[in-house]
A and B are shown apart, each in its own frame.
Chain A
């Protein structure tokens, strides 16, 4: 086996994120992923070239899209001999795809890859009800006409109601927001703190757009040239007027303003060996350093659904011999403003760090001016599998601008009680 070598982020491309039922209401996952991919191909001059592999996924997926990424490659400007595969780890999909291809590059199995994801909350699959589905399958498997008639005869009117995907955890029946509302309450995250974080996300992202930060990270699509949910003029005062949507009673703090909206979009990252980037006269923005995935037992209520990154990061830091304060930028995915805040609070908590993480002392506070400095999911929107690609590409660019040796931490929480985290370092 080849010696481990560096995998570097060359760049990325995404389409502006749309609101559910908005600009991309008529576009499928494959349409959007193709748009992001063709934009990336154009940006880095990859037309007609064979890339090592393309790895991407979607969280809400139609059964017809079993080979979504390969189909996207076949419809793109890449050489059709480029292999591709789908993977899925809920909201961790995009980052997990980057980890996957970076590992292969480090091992020398491939020299270049494109990784990321796509999601559409607008074009979500709707399935026929369980009763009808089973009857249709039975009819399909029937060997005689009478068996087939029998199968159809078993259909009841109630079976004809369609089933839409639920945004709830299968084992708890609670939506992600309801889960996070419990975590927010447990960590006593205030409404004000959440609204401040949300306002900062919009303001930071609006400034980044104005400064042209996203000019070489985004390709317009379907008349959209900026993220559709971005509200540059929002304020803590305006956000304070919204009614809570998750949690109950006086203690409820989570509103539509400090929770990410359902969104549509796609994002991809170009990863390669340093040699491949040099051969193609492409930049190496940041080195992929290391990654870690943790999971928590949220089913029994033992830990919050979205708290797994709080466990993954300390494990990653220990392996790399780093402290939480050794970073120039922190990219903590804003599933909800309170997710970011409870994670930060956990790292500052002596009780959590000693009892839950088994550490001698708390990880401590971070410099908040280094957190999500160009905005995050509250402002951009959060097409589940696309978020990892958006963050990796943005952070790599920020690190490259900051200068050699600067370091960034990515933390993404995911359904199923999982958390995917990674470290990038400017080359």
Chain B
């Protein structure tokens, strides 16, 4: 993003995620892994952040309510734009089959809840992956002309790869990576330094504050319909909760990257640990015995 010659689809306000999901369920002939990504950028301008919803978001994710917003909140604000793009009839892959596998964000400077934002999202880099096709949803938040936040969410569609494409050696399926080793050989302490007890209703609570009403997060029944044994926690909640746990150790501007390795089933108790590596932080959310990793991340 950043080049100003791409098409812009300007929306009057942030779309509702539920409506977009419904739109995506309308049967459409999609071009699949061999298709092309829409080249346009979806945008809303001069958006006023909802202070009340932010307070509720902070409470659900464990953040102290501050005037500066965490980068995960800016992701939540751009998420409807991502979904709008993915639900569009010209998007090559079906929304229901896309799994959020990793996420990177850069907070360039502290962003205050009172600042008006111009948010945009675009899709990029449709590519082969060992177990399917991967692509990125790019996000950007500006205050005036200043870029204050950027995000990159990688999604994976399992199954067919783009015809003729070679899978780069360094691309691995993060789920398999966790599954193969079972245990993680990272340097972070073997035993979690904190335990989080997550309620069965957490998915509904987070859906309420984030707008992400994907049925796999809402109830065991709807989760089963999509092939999960129980309700699963939103990956971006797990991410946000981890950042909240690092509160006080985070610099005022930073880059944070996470891999979503293994879904967190609800209700459950999970472990958290972190370690400082020079100026950087590494952290992970694991099973409560520390044996398997749900989410692994770094702050730099």
Contacts and interface: CB of A to CB of B under 8 A. Distances in A.
A158 B200 CA distance: 11
Interface string B192-225: 0111110001000000000000000000000000
Contact of B195 (A158, A173, A182, A300): A173
B51 interface: no
B191 interface: yes
Contact of B191 (A171, A300, A301): A301
A301 B201 contact: no
Contacts of B275: 300
Contacts of A158: 201
A158 B275 CA distance: 37
A174 interface: yes
Scoring B194, B196, B245 by chain A CB atoms within 10 A of each residue's CB, the highest score goes to B194
Interface string A159-173: 000000000000111
Contacts of B196: 173
A299 B201 contact: no
Contacts of A182: 191
Contacts of A172: 193-195
Interface string B161-197: 0000000000000000000000000000101011111
Contacts of B274: 300
A299 B191 contact: no
B103 interface: no
Contacts of B102: none
A172 B192 CA distance: 9
A148 to B, nearest CB: 18
A326 B168 CA distance: 68
Interface string B228-255: 0000000000000000010000000000
B153 interface: no
A172 B196 CA distance: 8
Contacts of B201: 158
Contacts of B245: 171
B133 interface: no
Nearest to A174: B195
B273 interface: yes
Contacts of A174: 194-195
A366 B84 CA distance: 70
B206 to A, nearest CB: 15
Interface size class of B (residues with CB under 8 A): 10 to 19
Contacts of B194: 171-174, 299
Contacts, number: 24
Contacts of A299: 193-194
A173 B197 CA distance: 8
A248 B75 CA distance: 40
Contacts of A171: 194, 245
Interface residues of A, number: 9
A172 B288 CA distance: 12
A161 to B, nearest CB: 11
Nearest to B289: A248
A300 B249 CA distance: 11
Interface in A176-202: 182
Interface in A4-59: none
A174 B192 CA distance: 10
Nearest to A301: B193
Nearest to B244: A171
A45 B95 CA distance: 80
A169 to B, nearest CB: 8
Nearest to A169: B194
A182 B191 CA distance: 9
Contacts of B191: 182, 301
A13 B196 CA distance: 41
A336 to B, nearest CB: 18
B198 to A, nearest CB: 10
A171 B273 CA distance: 12
A171 B196 CA distance: 9
A182 B276 CA distance: 20
A38 B99 CA distance: 67
B106 to A, nearest CB: 24
Contacts of B276: 300
A366 B268 CA distance: 46
Given A158-B201, A171-B245, A301 B195 contact: no
Interface in A351-407: none
Nearest to B59: A130
Nearest to B269: A173
Interface in B254-300: 273-276
A301 B197 contact: no
B57 to A, nearest CB: 15
B18 to A, nearest CB: 19
A423 B191 CA distance: 37
B64 to A, nearest CB: 11
B160 to A, nearest CB: 43
B260 to A, nearest CB: 22
Contacts of A173: 194-197
Interface in B72-114: none
A415 B222 CA distance: 42
Nearest to B276: A300
Interface string B143-161: 0000000000000000000
Nearest to B275: A300
B11 to A, nearest CB: 30
Nearest to B189: A301
B299 to A, nearest CB: 13
A301 B245 CA distance: 13
24 contacts: A158-B201, A171-B194, A171-B245, A172-B193, A172-B194, A172-B195, A173-B194, A173-B195, A173-B196, A173-B197, A174-B194, A174-B195, A182-B191, A299-B193, A299-B194, A300-B193, A300-B273, A300-B274, A300-B275, A300-B276, A301-B189, A301-B191, A301-B193, A301-B273
Top 10 A-B residue pairs of the complex, sorted by shortest distance between their CB atoms: A301-B193, A173-B195, A172-B194, A301-B189, A173-B194, A300-B193, A300-B274, A173-B196, A174-B195, A172-B193
Interface of B: 189, 191, 193-197, 201, 245, 273-276
Given A172-B194, A300-B274, 17 more contacts: A158-B201, A171-B194, A172-B193, A172-B195, A173-B194, A173-B195, A173-B196, A173-B197, A182-B191, A299-B193, A299-B194, A300-B193, A300-B276, A301-B189, A301-B191, A301-B193, A301-B273
